Amino acid sequence: MDKLEIRQLAARYCFYLGLIAVFFILPEQGMAARSPAENTIETHHSVYVGGLYLGGITTQIEQDGNRYKIDSAAMTSKAFEWALSWIANGETIGIVDPGKFSPLVHEHESAWNKKLRTVKMDYDKSGKITVERSGKRSSNPNKYVPIDPKSLPNSIDPMTAMLAASSRLEAGKDCTMDLPVFDGERRYDVHLTQKGERVFKPSRYSVFSGPAVGCKIDVTKKGGFKKDSINQNNLTQEFVVWAAAPVSGGRVVPVRMEVSTEFGVLELHLDRYHEGGINLVSRNLK
């Protein structure tokens, strides 16, 4: 692939990869009390396109009582720095109530080819969100679809949205649900639909093999997106993430994603899973 092709690929799929950076990770409902170390889970996922390593996503979740903290970090491979460089770090702190996840603070910073942008969101009890940003988007007010202020109260950050989805699987339900999401710049609805089960064979790229549940992701763009892309899905096929517990009694995490592109198959593999005394590492971890 040349530089233009790599940038086209990144522009088309990085938004969707960002959605699953913390997909389906949540301590099991009704678990016995654990020590702080045992209440922490860490995963690493590697992304490949056409067999080439594109980058990785590390996610860590801590839970203490009814509070949760999520940290995620994603970056492209140094082998692609001649074409693009993308780094993203996020953190969410929130409260878990029965059947509901409420963020208190969400922070996110990303650097696309060394151009840094940050977002911080604070949530009050009424659902109102206060947003602080640094790093500018285009100054052209006509470039982006306006966000309806009425759509923001009680929307949630991307990390909390995925926790809400994971809780359904942990409770023995399917993942089908609709989630109102605001990431500080874009407002969109995430539609999740159960897709049944698939069995994965052992692979040197992954620590997981066996049956996994599929969850299809669809996105309805509401505001904050470029006007020339608001009605574009960008995907020519279903975007399905497969989730399962890597070990008996473990927690449900994303284990695989595959999407065919004109540049080859875009794949996401779970290549590390750490929980308490369990530490699974694939033979191909970068």
| Lowest mean per-residue pLDDT among 11-15, 41-45, 151-155, 280-284 | 11-15
**Cα distance between residue 96 and residue 73, in whole Å:** 23
What would the pLDDT profile of 222-278 be if each residue is shown by its tens digit?
A: 999 888 776 655 555 688 899 999 998 888 888 999 887 777 788 899 999 999 889
Q: What's the pLDDT score for residue 256?
A: 93
What would the pLDDT profile of 245-261 be if each residue is shown by its tens digit?
A: 999 888 888 899 988 77
What would the pLDDT profile of 73-127 be if each residue is shown by its tens digit?
A: 888 887 766 566 678 889 999 998 877 889 999 999 988 777 888 999 999 988 8
- Within 10 angstroms of residue 278's Cβ, the number of other Cβ atoms is 12
Residue 9 pLDDT greater than 60, yes or no: no
**Cα distance between residue 121 and residue 98, in whole Å:** 23
Q: What angle do CA 165, 224, 158 make, to 5 degrees?
A: 20
**Token pair of 156 as six digits:** 């949630």
**Cα distance between residue 63 and residue 32, in whole Å:** 12
Element containing residue 123 per DSSP (H, E): strand 115-123
10 by Cβ neighbours in 10 Å (0-12 / 13-18 / 19+) ranks as buried
Mark 62-94 as b/e (b = at least 16 C-beta within 10 Å): bbeeeebbbbbbbebbeebeebbbbebbbbbbb
Helix, strand, coil share (%) of the chain residues, nearest 5: 15, 50, 40
Q: What's the pLDDT score for residue 35?
A: 41
Element containing residue 121 per DSSP (H, E): strand 115-123
Task: Give SS3 for 170.
Answer: helix
Average pLDDT, the chain: 81
Confidence of residue 30 (pLDDT cuts 50, 70, 90): very low
Confidence of residue 5 (pLDDT cuts 50, 70, 90): low
What would the pLDDT profile of 202-218 be if each residue is shown by its tens digit?
A: 999 999 999 999 999 88
**Cα distance between residue 121 and residue 43, in whole Å:** 25
Q: What's the pLDDT score for residue 78?
A: 78
